[in-house]
Structure 1
Amino acid sequence: MTTVAAPPALAQFEITQKFFFDAAHTLQREIEAEGSRRIHGHTYHAEVTLAGTPHADTGMVVDLGRVRLAIAELRPQLDHQLLDEVPGLGPATLENLAAFVWRGMESRLPQVVQVRVWREALGDGCTLRRSPQP
């Protein structure tokens, strides 16, 4: 098998995969409270970032097919669900959604370094990043 040339010293690659899900929820808020307390829905977008050094034989940090399989296992837990009822999510905030996606992906792919969740129609989002190692 042919090996791939090594990247520059100390280089780290990042790969990403995006997905979306449609879901409903309620939320107890002080501002914009009335509409948030009623069941309503959004299209959420998510992006998972994995980082590392490409394997010498494959040239890949991780096979994107593996990333898509992990997403395919996680996505049904959120897609077309009432998020208030998703075990382990907590209140359906962008922060909790990012953490939920992180936990679901990291258990399958420990190279996860970032998860971003956003609602395109509203222009808001949340990014959860792995803290730099000391």
Structure 2
Amino acid sequence: MIIYQHFTFDAAHFLPHVPEGHKCRNLHGHTYHLTLYITGDVLEQEGWILDFSDLKAIVAPVIGMLDHTLLNNIEGLENPTAELLATWIWKKVKPLLPGLKKIELKETPSSGVIYEGE
């Protein structure tokens, strides 16, 4: 069984390694949409894999580190592409959620990345 929960956060960034003149080299922001997928067995007594409110509480500190920030200023995110941001999130959340199967991170409604770990 796989459950999922969706989160949003707003953050600014710029991509320092793209060519001069590329629009993403300039400071800009996104409303990011993050979906976490967790796998596990349904607990017999509770009838769920994990309480969604517990999942939200586990992830809240990580979202708090990202929300309304300049991502480039976060250690390990000096070049915050969607791919590198997804990897960074995975590294922060996976130890807290051993059943984490994959994450989907969207920068815009039509573009994003799916990361399934290392």
TM-score of the pair, normalised by structure 2: 0.89
Unaligned runs of 5+ in 1: 1-12
For the residues of structure 1 that align with 2:72 and 2:24, how far apart are their CA atoms?
12
Determine helix, strand or coil for the equivalent of 2:57.
Answer: helix
Identity %: 30
For the residues of structure 1 that align with 2:33 and 2:59, how far apart are their CA atoms?
12
Structure 1 counterpart of 2:29, from 24, 38, 41: 41
Correspondence for 1:64? 52
For the residues of structure 2 that align with 1:39 and 1:46, how far apart are their CA atoms?
21
Listed as ranges, the matches of 1:1-134 within 5 Å are 13-27=1-15, 28-30=17-19, 33=22, 35-121=23-109, 123-130=110-117
Higher relative contact order (CA 8 A, sep 6+): 2
What is the aligned length?
117
TM-score of the pair, normalised by structure 1: 0.79
> Any runs of at least 4 consecutive aligned residues in structure 1 with deviations exceeding 3 A, and if so which?
none
Determine helix, strand or coil for the equivalent of 1:22.
Answer: strand
For the residues of structure 2 that align with 1:130 and 1:75, how far apart are their CA atoms?
19
Shift of 1:69: 0.4
Residues 38-78 of structure 1 show CA distances to partners (whole Å, capped at 9, x for unaligned) of: 21111111000000111121111111111100221111111
Q: CA RMSD in A?
A: 1.7
